[in-house]
Every structure is written in structure tokens, then in C-alpha cells.
Amino acid sequence: MGRRGICMAWNKHGGKRGIWEKHGSGVRVFVKLIVSVDERWGIGRDNRLLFPIPDDMAFFKRATQGKVLVMGRATLDSLPRSEPLKGRINIVLSKDETLRIGGAMACSSIARLGAVLAMFDSDDVFVIGGHSVYSQLLAHCGEALVTKVRADGRADRFFPDLDSDSGWAVASRSEDRLHNGLRYSFFVYRNKNAKEMPRDAGAGVWPAARG
């Protein structure tokens, strides 16, 4: 398929499930993202979450259950047992065209990812990290669900400061909450300048089975 990138779905035994051919421009593709940040917009340290707050983790589960998740390989490796999250369609964005992941899709380019995501309702697609994937897809996200923790997690990975970006604006926020002395709240940001995701119209995939 050349160097344009490929997108494959694999079953849990590593076998290829099939390739879905897609042509034409289709619908416009925008996505959402979900992220938890500290007061400096840090998102992780040593490939781990900064603050495993139960309420925030429950919020993530409610928001993403039954949805489509886009992540990088390092984020997949940070999940329990380094396995795709159950009850969702998991898509891993990686330049490795030979990557095979049981129970997930693997896309090797943004354009191929865009072609796959065109098969889903954009309200059902969430980018969940990590740093590199957030950076690559931020411009194509129309909405961001951000948990802000008012503490310094001494992060070594950071998310762009949406408060300093005039293209993003707060649409809503929750009341402050407390967990073990940590004050946090939930924000919804909207992107006024979201860009349509590029797509390679030559290929897509059969959707992987939900875990």
C-alpha cells in the first residue's frame, strides 16, 4: 500500500480481520478529546497519570463507554495489562505499519485514521493521548473534556494550554471538588477553528470488535 499509511484490524489471536474499501469524500470529520491536567497543564510522568482520582476515572469511563478511542502506542502500554479498553473500539495511531494489536485497530497515518473515523459519529470519537497524539490531532478536535487538578504533578509530558489559545473557549465547568486534599473540576472547551481531518480515501477497515 506504499508509504501513505495503512490501517488494519486484528483479532485477539493476531489474525487479520479484513480491510474495508472506502472511496469519495464522505462526511466531514471532527473529533473530541478527553484529558486530565495539573495546574501547569501537565498530563503525565513516567508514562503514568499524575492524579488517579476515582471520580475523574469514573468520569472517563462514563464518557467513553461504548465509544471509539484514539491513542498512541505508549498510552496503550500504560493501560491495565497493556490491553485495549473493554467496551470501546480502540484505535492506535503509530508509524509502525507492521503493528498488530489484539482487539484493536492500528493506523499508521493521520489520513488513514481520518478515513476510518469517517465511518463513525464524531460525537462517539475521543482522543485519549498521549502527548504526541494530542499534539497531532488537537487542531481537528471540536471539543475537549478537561479535568483540571489544582496541584503540580511534576509532569514530564504536557498538554497545550487551552486558556492561552484564542481559538479555544470554555463552554462549561463544574463546581470544585475535593479528593485527599486535591481540588479539581471538570471543564468543557470548544474549538472555534477546528479543522477537518485529512483522509486517504483509498482505504478503511472493518470496525474491530468491542472489548
Q: Taking the chain (211 residues) in consecutive chunks of 10 residues, what is each chunk's mean pLDDT? A: 47 35 47 97 94 97 97 94 95 91 92 92 94 96 98 97 98 98 98 90 44 47
Are 148 and 37 a contacting pair, CB within 8 Å? Answer: yes
Q: How far apart are CA 17 and CA 110, in angstroms?
A: 21
Q: Please calculate the CA angle 142-23-5 and round it to the nearest 5 degrees.
A: 70
Handedness of CA 5, 76, 66, 175 (dihedral sign): negative
Cell numbers for 16: 487479520
- What is the CB neighbour count within 10 angstroms for residue 183? 13
Q: What is the pLDDT of residues 130-167, one digit of tens each?
A: 999 999 999 999 999 999 999 999 999 999 999 999 99
When the candidates are 3.40.430.10, 2.60.40.420, 1.10.8.50, 1.10.238.10, the CATH number that belongs to 27-191 is 3.40.430.10
Q: How far apart are alpha carbons 189 and 198 in whole angstroms?
A: 22
Fill in the amino acid letter for 148: K
The CA distance from 96 to 77, in Å, is: 15
